[in-house]
Structure 1
Amino acid sequence: MNKQSMTDTIVSAKAARGLTWEAIAKDIDVSPVWLASACLGMNSAPAAIAKKVTDHLSLDDDVTAALVAFPTKVWDQAVPTDPLIYRLYEVVGVYGDTLKEVIQEKFGDGIMSAIDFSMEVDKIEDPKGDRVLLTLNGKFLPYKTW
């Protein structure tokens, strides 16, 4: 089973059971952001966690094996058209250079890791309209001189 078939199977099983990433993650004790990423094929899962996911959704061992398999992280290089994903693309387009400048002033010449990394998505209730709080937490990796 490839990652796309795995994703289709997991998303279908999740929908059929009326589950959320948050609920599944709580039941198997992982981050809902990480869980969704692994189930959408962008990360591999340790075997024990993959088994918990597939047991929770009553899925076969081929799905477990696909969850454990190392992904090839490829995504569409075109400008995204989904409104939510486009807004994140827009944030990076508008504020990317600003973030780079501020991060490098604080840390030096380097990058934020997306490997030694965590992310949280929180809802902040506000009478003027609920807010989305994204927390990106990555290790700073300085460029080395040799």
Structure 2
Amino acid sequence: MSRRDAAALVRTARVRQGLTWAAIAQALDAPLVRTTAALLGQHPMSAEQAETACALLGLEDAVAEALQQQPARSIDPELLQDPTIYRFSEALAVYGPALKELIHEEFGDGIMSAINFKVDIARRAHPDGDRVVVTFDGKFLDYRW
């Protein structure tokens, strides 16, 4: 079974079981965003995590096996048709060059790791409507020439 097919089954089973992503992450004792990404095929899961998730969701062993495979990451052009994902890409298109310059100014010549990395999402109340707060927390990796 492909990771994409496994992800589709996970999405359907989550809704069918009436579970939130947070409830699944809690059952796995794992970070919310990383767990959700793993269940959507973007990170490998340990055998124990995959088996626990599939038991919770009522999914077969083939799904657990797919969730343990190392993903081949690429940007699927279909993703950019989703309004939320498009807004993230738009934000990076607008602010990415500025963030790069500011990282270089503050840290020197290097990049932010997306491997030694944490991401979190939160809601912040605001009088004009609630705010979405996304935090990227990546280790700075200096270029070593």
TM tier, shorter chain? over 0.9
Counterpart amino acid of residue 113 in structure 2: S
Q: What are the residue-to-residue correspondences of 1:1-146 with 2, within 5 Å?
A: 1-77=1-77, 80-145=80-145
Matched pairs, number = 145
The CA deviation at 1:27 is: 2.0
Counterpart amino acid of residue 84 in structure 1: T
The CA deviation at 1:97 is: 0.6
Root mean square deviation, CA, Å = 1.4
Distance in 2 between the 1:46 and 1:116 partners? 18
Q: Which of the two has greater helix per residue?
A: 2
Matched residues, percent identical? 41
Give me the TM-score of the superposition, normalised by structure 2: 0.94
Q: 5+ unaligned residues in a row in structure 2: which ranges?
A: none
Secondary structure in 2 matching 1:115: strand
Give me the TM-score of the superposition, normalised by structure 1: 0.93
Secondary structure in 1 matching 2:59: coil
Distance in 1 between the 2:10 and 2:115 partners? 24
Task: State which drifts further: 93-102 or 53-62.
Answer: 53-62
The CA deviation at 1:15 is: 0.8
Distance in 1 between the 2:27 and 2:93 partners? 37
Runs of 4 or more consecutive aligned structure 1 residues displaced over 3 Å after TM superposition = none
